[in-house]
A and B are shown apart, each in its own frame.
Chain A
Amino acid sequence: MNKQKNRLIDHIKYSVMIAALLVITFAPTGQVKAEFGDVVINNYSDKAGMPPVVFPHWFHRIRFRCKVCHGDLGFEFKAGGNDINMVKIIDGQYCGACHNGEIAWSIENCNICHSAPVGTPTQVHESTLQKLIKPDQNKTEDKK
């Protein structure tokens, strides 16, 4: 009797484990829900075979006022509106003004910035335009 009971428990355990595995492997990636103001920059990344950049506004505004980047460093108020490339960055322009190993960590840490899935388009995440409710379009965009 006991043996059978144990077996049953084992069967249930395995089934639950397999169910969990199935959920993990086949779960839809779900709605894309990054932080308000996260900017994806994909001007050149895809063509260069690099994952696109995700810029977290929230992290930077805790440390700098807007004018430091948007005034002093010359960043335009437009996602993808700045012609940023790695040469400019290593020459101390744009991100490179701080990401130089002195003010902030340096450019050899490629993947901390280049962390979006390949093919993610340039955008401001969670912006009002994106939040306007268009379920069908959003869903098809997410699945891409």
Chain B
Amino acid sequence: MKKNNAMTGRLKIHLMFGLILVVSTSVTGADDPNTFNRLMDPPSKRNPSPMTDGIHDPNNNGTQLLQPPKEAFQQLPKGKSGNYIDWMKALQDKKINPRNDRVDTKSQPIIMDLNIVREVKGSMPDVVYPHKQHTEWLDCANCHPAIFIPQKGANQISMASILLGEKCGVCHGKVAFPVSECRRCHSKPKPTKTANKKNKSDKQAK
């Protein structure tokens, strides 16, 4: 009996110390109100494994079979956002070789090399839409005519609609690079009176 009492006593002490340890570490760690970039995740939290990503059930035996993204990504060129992979570069550099057909490994996409320039109202550079990069991945019918009417001036596009998942936002911001990479689309500087330096497009405009 005595031995039992002593045991429970010790256990209590251990539990107390354990609790104190937990509380002290949590206070100094995650809950620090002045953490740097409190609304952002640190790079170490990117591309988590399915076991810890919070969307797969770690108790599901199928989850354990899934490949961690980092394993697949280690040989691919890095990107700034999304999967943190530059998928277009990965394709061009032949780091990946995605099939163009479900079964036919020799099938090749039909590439169309046509840039569409969209003049934008605000101060942002004009948008250059390259068909070339898009036809590497997609068929014409994926976008035309349901998402974009293939006619000049027929499509109203706004950043608000893109953010809400329409137009370019059907892919960009969901699987393709998100709108935070402004300059990848807004890439054609326009001549502006406010610009201090004369840039190339200024000279071209003249």
Interface of A toward B, CB cutoff 8 Å = 11-12, 14-19, 21-23, 29-38, 40, 51, 54, 56-59, 61-68, 70-73, 77, 97-98, 103, 109-118, 120, 124-129, 131-133, 135, 142
B149 within 8 A of A: no
Rounded to whole angstroms, the CA-CA distance of A118 and B60 in the bound complex is 11
Chain B residues with CB below 8 A from A126, complex form = 82
A129 touches B55 (CB 8 A): no
Which one of B53, B99, B138 contacts A32 once the chains associate, using CB atoms below 8 Å? B53
A129 touches B17 (CB 8 A): no
The minimal Cβ–Cβ distance linking B64 to chain A, given in whole angstroms, is: 9
B174 within 8 A of A: yes
Q: A67-B139, A110-B62 are in contact. Are A61 and B48 (CB under 8 A)?
A: no
CB-defined A-B contacts under 8 Å, sample of 17:
A15-B13, A18-B18, A31-B41, A34-B56, A65-B99, A67-B142, A70-B142, A109-B65, A112-B62, A112-B65, A114-B60, A116-B57, A117-B56, A117-B57, A126-B82, A127-B173, A128-B172
Chain A residues with CB below 8 A from B169, complex form = 128
Size category of the B interface is: 35 or more
Interface of B is mostly: loop
B13 touches A19 (CB 8 A): no
Rounded to whole angstroms, the CA-CA distance of A103 and B39 in the bound complex is 42
Interface centre among B18, B100, B136, B165 (most CB of A within 10 A): B18
Count contacts between A and B, CB distance < 8 Å. 186
Q: A59-B67, A110-B62 are in contact. Are A77 and B100 (CB under 8 A)?
A: no
The minimal Cβ–Cβ distance linking A87 to chain B, given in whole angstroms, is: 20
The minimal Cβ–Cβ distance linking A128 to chain B, given in whole angstroms, is: 3
Q: A128-B179, A129-B165, A129-B173 are in contact. Are A34 and B54 (CB under 8 A)?
A: yes
A11 touches B17 (CB 8 A): yes
